[in-house]
Structure 1
Amino acid sequence: MTNAVIAALIALWALVIGLCLVVIALLRQVGMLHERLGPVGALVMPGGPAVGDAAPSFELAAVDGRAVRIGGASTAPLTLLFFLSPSCPVCKSLLPLVKSVERERRGALQVVLASDGDMPAQLAMIKREKLEAYPLVLSTPLGLAYQVSKLPHAVLIDAAGTIVAKGLVNNREHLESLFEAHRLGVGSLQDLAARTMAEAAE
């Protein structure tokens, strides 16, 4: 009986050790897969001014009466032009992140919200989401100039009025990738990944 118990314990421990080795191997494979996939950033939609182009210039009035200039030389090192809609749930989920990004870069980043449509719905969104600190402009021509086809869409513009990053932003990683692409001096993290893969293939 004792020998049987000892044998069972040995078999059990062997099974546990085997499972641990399998888990370690799986974690290693996941890490390798993550490395191969590379960074995934904001999806750059076709059409509209490209990264490196001058941002279309607009002088608009925000819904609260503030004068807003988009494009051209700016005193702000960076401007985040964030296209959204009161009826877009993903836009709503990203607003706390937009606020957080602006707070982290206070003095170095200006946030401009852009939308179009029904004014009462826009004002209700501002109140509901506590967006009073950020200018919200309503302009269909603005969206057409940047050829915004899907929301939420973000464009990062430097102090010289040049587009340094842009794309469809569906989550935190997408939004943060715009700033990372600007830091690395690439159009997007997708461009960086493609370039890295091309260099590795040579």
Structure 2
Amino acid sequence: MTALIVTQGTLWLVLAAVAAIVLLLLRRLRGLYRRVAPLGALVPTVPSVMRLPRTGFVTIAGTDLTAGGERDDGRRQLLLFVSGSCPVSKKMVPVTVNFCERENLDLIFMGDETVEEQRAAAQALRIDGSRFVSDTETGRLFGVDRVPFAVLLGRDGDVEARGLVNSREHLESLLTATETGYASIQSFLAAHPHALPS
């Protein structure tokens, strides 16, 4: 009888110890999550402009395309700067197409290589040539120095958010920046340090 009581007491002590360890681990994980907060699109440089006026482009397929300015259809535009030699661009093209369809964004692919190189890139990246523009000036205006780089334009052509993107979460952070009024998730967390659970 005494052995049974001792065994039960020991089991209860072990159970209490396990519960305490689980609570401690949960607290540590929350702290870790706070330090490794979700990252938004990386904004590496300061752009020359924060608005794109209504601008006409000729795509690599030879069709006319308009970007920026007041939008007649009321849709926002996402400009995605890519390169055919960039493996991350290849990964991001289908992700961005799906993302823009879901969020009702008008997607335009952009690059700054020669038209021949862009045609090869469009084939490699499986991009519709009528949505692909070869233009060096626009990338410079928005401070694009690496790809894939996304610029979210509002219905009036204003730059709502921009940055390097290599995941769907980065694309979603561009919309989050628009909804919160902050340039990035990092700036939002800096302004609201208690936004994440402690």
Equivalent pairs, count: 193
1:147 is aligned to 2:143: yes
Match of 1:67 among 51, 59, 64: 64
Q: In 2, distance between residues paired with 1:180 and 1:47?
A: 20
Deviates more, 1:149-158 or 1:184-193: 184-193
**How far apart are the structure 1 equivalents of 2:16 and 2:120?**
59
Q: Identify unmatched segments of 5+ residues in structure 2.
A: none
Pairing of 1:104-183 with structure 2 (within 5 A): 104-106=102-104, 109-132=105-128, 135-183=131-179
Distance 1:147 1:20, change over 3 A: same
Q: Structure 1, residues 50-94: CA drift from partner, whole Å, max 9, x if none?
A: 6xx322553210111221222211234210011110111111111
Provide the rounded CA distance (Å) in 1 between the counterparts of 2:68 and 2:96: 20
Structure 1 unmatched ranges of 5 or more: none
Q: Does the residue aligned with 2:160 lie in a helix, a strand or coil?
A: strand
Q: What displacement does 1:15 show?
A: 6.3
What are the equivalent positions in structure 2 for 1:30-49 lying under 5 Å apart? 30-35=29-34, 37-49=36-48
Alignment CA distance shift 1:105-1:173 (3 Å):
closer
Matched position secondary structure for 2:61: coil
Question: What is the Cα deviation at residue 188 of structure 1?
Answer: 1.9
Judge conservation of contact 1:151–1:168 (CA < 8 Å) in 2. yes
CA contact (8 A) 1:114 1:138 kept: yes
% of aligned pairs identical?
31
Contact 1:113 1:134 in 2 (8 A): no
Q: How many angstroms apart in 1 are the aligned matches of 2:53 and 2:15?
A: 62
- The alpha-carbon deviation at position 175 of structure 1 amounts to 1.4
| Equivalent residue, structure 2, for 1:26 | 25
Distance 1:183 1:49, change over 3 A: farther
Corresponding residue for 1:55? Answer: 52
Give TM-score, length-normalised by structure 2: 0.80
CA drift at 1:35: 3.4
TM-score w.r.t. length of structure 1: 0.78
Alpha-carbon distance in 2 for matches of 1:33, 1:80:
33
Aligned counterpart, 2:95 = 97
Structure 1 residue ranges, 4+ long, deviating more than 6 angstroms after superposition: 10-17
Q: Does the aligned pair in 1 maintain the 2:54–2:68 contact within 8 Å?
A: yes
Between 1:35-44 and 1:171-180, the stretch displaced more is 35-44
Aligned 8 A contact 1:85 1:91 in 2? yes
What letter corresponds to residue 125 of structure 1 in structure 2?
Answer: A
